[in-house]
Amino acid sequence: VASPTALAAWKHKRAVRVAVRREEDTAMIGKRHPILGEYRLAIGTGEDSPDNRGKITGMQTSFWLDGGNTYDASFVVMDVIQLRCDSAYMVKNYGTRGDVCKTNKASNTAFRSMGMIQAMLVQEDAIERAAHAIGMLAEDVRGKNLYQLGDTTPFGQLLDDCYMGVVWTYLAKHCNFRERLEEVNRFNAANLWRKRGISMIPVKYASGYNLTLLEQTGALVEVYDQDGTVLVRHGGVEMGQGLMTKVAQIAAYELNVPLTFINMSDTDTNVVPNPTSTGASTGTAFSGGAVRDACLKLRRRLEDFCLDLLKENGSVWCQDQHINFWDYPQGWRTPVPQPAPPPEAAPQKPAPKKHVDPVLIWNKIVSLAYVNRVDLSAQVRFKQAGGEAADSGLTFKSPKCTEPVNHFTGFTYSAACTEVEVDVLTGETTVLRSDVMYDVGKSINPAIDVGQVEGGFIQGLGYVLTEDVVFQPDGENKGALNTLNTWTYKPPAASTIPIEFHVDLYPREESSDAPENPYDLLSSKEVGEPPLVLAATAYFAVKHAVLAARRDRGHDEWFDLEAPATVQRVREACLVEADNLKI
């Protein structure tokens, strides 16, 4: 879209705007990468020792991405998959490889979770198939192979803050998994044409970009002497994810001023140049980190200014000037008493009340700093610590890494449980209930974070249940995209949302024995991308419901089901034939 627009503008020497209809837009623009996965998994049967039953002793996964007609971001997506698809599981003999296939379709591109949801479906299917083969519950296999504190990932990063197992147990208890599994089994035994399934899956998701040069951004913070308000500018883009609200909270917290004093400016590269793309769930971490550093720089400058005045003029003078913030628990947030207006200035009638920000010690300090020509602005270039290891062109063949490396700035440890009901005759799926226990560390804004988890999870439901991309297989229009709009392409709708939807932020204090990650901003973690991956629970819940239907027709083997699990695919997988419909 950009290239022909730029060409026309250059050719005609004037501004050109291109508006594309949905049909052309959908046909031209790349999408999330389709993936072909292959797996091999070795699992203990318990014949040698009961303790080894369900223990994964080896896993090998191979991935092929459909990159489309150019490579675009495809190799980056593959790098993300390779470094994240170990997910929550500690497997001593672990291997993964991948490649990108160039095809004659529109070039596929980056999308929320960067291929992780596709990789999760492949890996979790390996665990499901292995558990089914030894007659063991997949959730029991998962619980037995979770990463523990002090483990090292296959690519050599030490998990020195891991509490995956505690989150897993916490969710199982709070969503009543065992009791609901028994109820699902009773329902399936009593119903022929409607079946239920339930699935619970953990996710360890790595934070940050897979390129160190991107782990930076800038910020400019300025204070106005007239009223003490603060103007905050940074390189992040607000797109409905609550970035500006969270950054404003960070600025207010670090400057110790009321939130009403903080004004957020729109993103402007004339002011803050060279911003990093607002993606990879780094918006708050990077932009918030830059603003935090700028605010701390300002705060130290103003504190030093006041302490110098204390040395020069004494405490009584500072009290008279109302800058003695050290005498109050609230610091310079403390309101300052204002002198009453002279009698002649008092109005005859009471004036209507209006909101006026209180005058604080902060206001007095700022005004005095301006008079003394103290710089009331601070600009910083923020560099995210951690995650400096090179992540492109990966080739790791050694069974052990000689020393730990940091590919990522940290990890989230989350889990979800989803229960579905399938209409065996039509293939229609109803998501009855989803429970998400999301690890955001210590949330800066729980309302925003819960909303992000909800949105990401529902977007994931669309990917695993309804959003099928269909190309014409033959004929005159062979290769044409048939799913051009919402008449044929089905994004999640109101009916996709779970009837009962529980989203909770994992209470970090439950894992106080695990040290906090020093690279997390104010002990908070990313929240944009990992929730989408947790929607894989719906896909496997559907597979279990379909398996219950297949058992009624004498088929107990684990089976393949292409994602998304659309009504057509679910209906066909249930193996209902005409003879099954006779009375």
Active site residues: 529
> What CA–CA distance (Å, rounded) separates 413 from 202?
8
Instruction: Mark 148-166 as b/e (b = at least 16 C-beta within 10 Å).
Output: ebeebbbbbbbbebbbbbb
Q: Pick from 428, 463, 417: which is nearest to 546 by CA?
A: 428
Beta bridge partners of 418: 199, 434
Q: Pick from 7, 6, 32: which is nearest to 491 by CA?
A: 32
H helix count then E strand count, the chain = 15, 11
Which DSSP string do the residues of 418-467 spell out, in sequence order? EEEEEETTT--EEEEEEEEEE--BS-S-HHHHHHHHHHHHHHHHHHHHT-
> What CA–CA distance (Å, rounded) separates 156 from 372?
53
Enclosing H/E stretch for 46: none
Q: In what order do the strands lie in the sheet with 377-383?
A: 262-264, 230-234, 216-223, 377-383
Taking phi over 0 as left and psi of -120 to 50 as alpha, with beta for the rest, 80 belongs to alpha
Beta bridge partners of 422: 195, 429
Q: Pick from 65, 59, 169: which is nearest to 125 by CA?
A: 59
> What CA–CA distance (Å, rounded) separates 235 from 276?
7
Give the type of residue at 137.
Answer: L
Contact 256, 332 (CB under 8 A): yes
